[in-house]
Structure 1
Amino acid sequence: MDKTQFLDELALKLSGLGQEERQEILADYMEHFAAGAASGKSEQEIVFDLGSPDEIARDILAERGEIPTGEEPYYVPRPVVRKKRGVAGRMWLFLAMLIPNLVVYSLLLSFWGVVVGFAGSTLGFFLTPFGFVLDAVLNQNFELYKLFGTIAVVGLGFIFFVLTMWLAKAMVTASIAYTNFNIHLMKGESKHV
């Protein structure tokens, strides 16, 4: 709802009053819009601050002993203002979350250890051909089964590489998501992700 709609609806709701009194009330609300615009508020924010024209008209008519018209009320939702968490609240929340955070971050760290282990295994699998060549040169012995074994191990290295990449991506996502959850929780924000 913008300024024009608000003032038109208010004028309609106050139609039971005299012309001069209605114009005076509307002039007061135009001043509210001018003051709000000067402070940088949008017309919608000013309407939120003022309330619905129906409620305003009911209050004004009730003060004057007039009976408000039986029209359908217009609902203007008000923004929810959340109270910021103080130092004591943050300290209590920190202590309450200390044990769960120690457990979860320990689990995350151990899963990161698994990722590093898979990465090390992958590197070892990919270095196997160098070991095969070194063995063949130093022992001056080329055996076919070792060649096929080396090829199989390199193939296993590719499988481990894909698995390692998938695990690393999952762990980055999980670590960032849990850390963001804690940040939002400590700030007192309602959206935790």
Structure 2
Amino acid sequence: MVQNKFLSQLKDQLKELPEADRQDILYDYEEHFRLGLEEGKTEEEIAASLGQPKAIAKEVKAEFRVKEAKSKPSFESVVKAVLSTVSLGFFNLIFILGPFFAVVGVLLSIYAVSIGLLLSPIAVLFGWEQLGGSANWLMGLFSIVALLSAGVLLGVASIVLTRWFVRVLIKYLQFNVNIIKGR
């Protein structure tokens, strides 16, 4: 009865995962029980040595989300990986969530400055028209080119920084999950 209850609880906790992955995980834990019973252990001893199904499911989901974010890095998959890793403990709340939001805030501000620089030539043109259009046309043209160039360069830099941040974040999340799993 203990084995069935354990596997049932684990299956319920893993319902977010794809069916094939969930079946593989459940098969692994069925094997743990089978091997333990062959060694003469009771179902209660085996279940106690494996831990709580809820804790196991959190670790498995975190590992799955990190692998998913690594294979298909998108905003949604990275956020899911961060949140599932944060759920593993208070330590992660401090050392993952805080820095994650700080870096995301910095990246968003860099994107905003880039967009501002790309849109600012409109203000230069509008100001130029207010001055009659003839005064310092060369200075206006230089300002437009400089603002557009700075906006494009900062935009490209922010894209490169974002990609780098996602790669580093995924590696850190993998490291964190491995530490929690004892690897």
Q: What range describes the TM-score normalised by the shorter chain of this pair?
A: 0.3 to 0.5
TM-score scaled by structure 1? 0.41
* Higher helix content, 1 or 2: 2
